[in-house]
Structure 1
Amino acid sequence: MAALGKVYLVGAGPGAADLITVRGARLLGEAEVVLYDALVTPEMLALCRQAELIPVGKRSGQRSTAQTVINEKLVDAAQRYQRVVRLKGGDPMLFGRADEELRALEEAGIEVEVVPGITTAVAAAAATLQPLTKRGVARSVAFFTSSTAPDEPNHPALPETDTLVQYMGGREAAA
């Protein structure tokens, strides 16, 4: 039986192919298979032309791949390939369900490494020239999402902080 491959959870950053980390771009160029999110751009996928590409994206309110299926596909890919990349929009460790994917890979005995990406909040602050913190005005920042799993209750009140950044808040924006 062949040795299990290694999975890299790579943050694609905010979407521009030139904003991925050098390490992330190198891994895309070496990958045998890439499982990618719906937010990943065609320019980003051009960095891994040699790889088999598997779309596993999620979009709120649209047909998408269930997280359990993504977990199964990651385990299956690591059983068939030596170098597997799970390409996630933004940073995998911030609202990216990395915990579920890490747990599934660890339970299957598959080695995994996380390669961070530029998260959307930081990219948006840079693009709009609006710092998330500012001396004398905003000493703290909190990232939050109103999205919950179907069986989770609504979250308690927001934390007290100077700057709040809401992720996946499209449905709540009007409220």
Structure 2
Amino acid sequence: MDQHETPVVAQFYLDPYARPGQKRQGSFVEVVVSRSKVLRTAKAPVRLPVFSIVLNQTPPVGDMPSLMTFTDLDLLFGCVGFGLRIALTSAEYTAASGIDGIEADSLGVPVRVLKRFCYHRATGKRYRDTILALSGVVHPTKAFELFRGRKQRTAALLEESGLQ
């Protein structure tokens, strides 16, 4: 991802696996430092935002990969959406670049946009072909229909927005 002359706009840490007794339950995004022009340095004209994405997915066992459930995928996409909001802010001051500087009705927009990819057919097919097909418990096509059928497109967006 590091390409010559491509500006870095933010940095993040990813902690994907559960560690009972070592970290709290749930999935969340934490701001490590916010974007700030006031706290710039001689090397950087603006302090870049840094955030962490903390998930509680089942860790891999032995030489087997960690298999994500649909809920894990949905949480990952939601957390990345929150992370993008933190990363892509153009506010120059810490107080304005945090959650308090965003209109309440637009806070969840990046999350909802990214979560919609979980229900996108091409994304679902890719998920099905790589992750769900490994389990062999349910036929991949049936598994796709099961998780695709949880929410209808428009109804899901309205429900997520609190409009239905």
Tell me the TM-score normalised to structure 1 length: 0.28
More strand by share: 1
Tell me the TM-score normalised to structure 2 length: 0.29
More helix by share: 2
Which structure would you say has the larger RCO, counting Cα contacts within 8 Å and 6 or more residues apart? 1
